Structure 1
Amino acid sequence: MSVPSPAPYVFDATTDRFETDVLQQSLQVPVLVDFWADWCGPCKTLGPVLEKLAADYNGAFVLAKVDTEKEQQIAAAFQIRSIPTVFLVKDGKLVDAFQGALPEGQVREFLTHHGIVPAAANEEAVDDTPAAPLDPHAEVMRLRKAIEAEPDKSELKLDLALALLQTGGAHEAEQLLEALPANLSTDDRAVKARARLGFAGLLKDAPPSEVLEAAIAANPDDLRARHLLGVHHIVAGRAEAGLEQFLEMLRRDRNFDDALPKKALIDAFRVIDDEDLVGRYRRRMSSLLLV
């Protein structure tokens, strides 16, 4: 049974409030709609996972619980055939769904696929003094010593992998990521690190940016060149320029190379730390996909 949760990001959806609480709210924040029932065993497994993630993600999405026995009208509108079934509603539209009691890691992957990442917790006191940037090489040395002292602490190995990515140690970072235990392998930081590794690997035999720019100038429909140029920009820290190339790919041919434009954008969203920039391009991507 779903127990009423005091968490601010979990609520029971009802027929009379569905338009306001789910559809209209989804214009501001993604809404997961969990269809469950008291008699459903798998629902009792999935429900606590979803509620935990709603708290962990700190408002990056909200969870609407729909008791299919009490809210049969909503269940009929969504054509529910089996439970648990979970729909993702964004911008007033159904964008994806999954069925069954997925483990937490797979639910996190589902959220990440749609650009939903944990929001930072609010802090009562904010220090406006900018922190001095860490020297990535010094951070690698510090973490190596920390791991020597606590070799079984996997969190430190994830931190080391992230630091190595900033110093060019992609091969060692990849080995560390592959060796992570299951509970950390789907951590948002690990997902982001793998995305960065993927981008870096694409440039192994790629032409330089100047050659790719010339190829695009000669043929604007050269989507392979656009993709590699976008990767160059992302790896070099020119996030908006990279996103612009991927978006232009989507505009010209969304199905190119097994939907590569959309995949490239989603991978870039995982790598880029500028939330405002990511949000702006995510909305532009959605607009193109809905055309």
Structure 2
Amino acid sequence: MSQAIAVTTADFEAEVIHASMDLPVLVDFWAPWCAPCRSLGPILDKLAEEFAGRLKVTKINTDEEPQLAGLFGIRSLPTVVLMKDGQPVDHFMGAQPEGVVRQWLEPHLGALPEVEAPAVAAAPTAVDADTALAEARRALAESPDTAELKLDLVEALLRKQEIDEARTRLGELPAAEAESDRGRRLANQLAFVQVAQGAPSIAELDARLLRDPDDHPARHLLGVRLLLDGDAPTALESFLELMRRDRKFGDDLGRKSLVQAFSLVDDADLVAQVRRRMSSLLF
């Protein structure tokens, strides 16, 4: 069974640069602690076997090969780079579903067999959000002193992007509700939504960081965008990298963003892992 080939500085030139003169070489930059890397790895191994002879798949452990990661300006894990004729021609960041990876490869390899996507729940539609907001208003009107219903309304307002009213409703909450876990979570969500208003797209922010890895405002906005889009692992990675690069930027904005983001992430193992890495950067 073909799998991604582990590459080091010693054999990088032969396994990647020279090999890419004959066929495209996919390079997966990963690390053992990176949970999204572990979900992407089996997909790349499957493609390595399926497209043996058309595509070479390699992987680089950035913990063991920081010079190679630095050479490519890697700022988030996983990052996948496609090499042709000795040069990088395309890349993506973050764990992606198999179908998305196939679509990304198709322009470089030609049409690929489609993979049947697993059944997923349909995303909430605009009508769903309208209905939820109307129901939250009705329920609160019937029981105006019920704290949980007040929080339900704020959550429905944020879902509908009714930012001004969400801010007002949060400000009207009694201290006990405002300081509750759910109240803090909604306040942090509102803060990120406000930051994201009018911000460039993820693709535009990626392009800015490719041009200048020290574009700290772009890195922060990228983390916010990713977090609100549901890609918590890559979002936290962006905030960590901002913290690592410049603790003074925005009065330690990377660390502050991490602390806020933790309340929005349901994956306790991921939060614990990132907290440990954040702590290691504090001293």
Short-chain TM bin: 0.5 to 0.7
**Residue of structure 2 equivalent to 1:165:** 158
Taking the aligned partners of 1:193 and 1:245, their CA distance within structure 2 comes to 22
Taking the aligned partners of 1:136 and 1:274, their CA distance within structure 2 comes to 25
Identity of aligned residues (%): 44
Taking the aligned partners of 2:240 and 2:146, their CA distance within structure 1 comes to 40
**Residue of structure 1 equivalent to 2:260:** 267
Residue 244 of structure 1 is aligned with which of 216, 237, 244? Answer: 237
**Residue of structure 1 equivalent to 2:141:** 148
Contact 1:216 1:222 in 2 (8 A): yes
Taking the aligned partners of 1:242 and 1:163, their CA distance within structure 2 comes to 23
What's the CA shift string for 1:172-230, capped at 9, x where partnerless?
Answer: 22111111112211111111111111111112232222221111111111111100111
1:221 aligned to 2:214?
yes
1:132 Cα deviation after fit: 11
Is the partner of 1:257 in helix, strand or coil?
coil
Q: How many residues align?
A: 160
Is the partner of 1:256 in helix, strand or coil?
coil
1:171 Cα deviation after fit: 2.2
- Give RMSD over aligned pairs: 2.2
Describe how 1:26-41 pairs up with structure 2 within 5 A.
none
1:133 Cα deviation after fit: 9.7
1:139 Cα deviation after fit: 3.3
**Residue of structure 1 equivalent to 2:202:** 209
What's the CA shift string for 1:65-96, capped at 9, x where partnerless?
Answer: xxxxxxxxxxxxxxxxxxxxxxxxxxxxxxxx
Taking the aligned partners of 1:133 and 1:209, their CA distance within structure 2 comes to 20
Taking the aligned partners of 1:133 and 1:258, their CA distance within structure 2 comes to 37
5+ long unaligned stretches in structure 2: 1-120
Taking the aligned partners of 1:150 and 1:158, their CA distance within structure 2 comes to 13
What's the CA shift string for 1:215-274, capped at 9, x where partnerless?
Answer: 111111111110011111011111111111111111111222211110011111122222
1:185 aligned to 2:178?
yes
1:164 Cα deviation after fit: 2.1
Is the partner of 2:252 in helix, strand or coil?
helix
Residue 247 of structure 2 is aligned with which of 248, 254, 257? Answer: 254
5+ long unaligned stretches in structure 1: 1-130
TM-score by length of 1: 0.51
1:281 Cα deviation after fit: 0.8
Residue 235 of structure 1 is aligned with which of 223, 228, 233? Answer: 228
Is the partner of 1:258 in helix, strand or coil?
coil
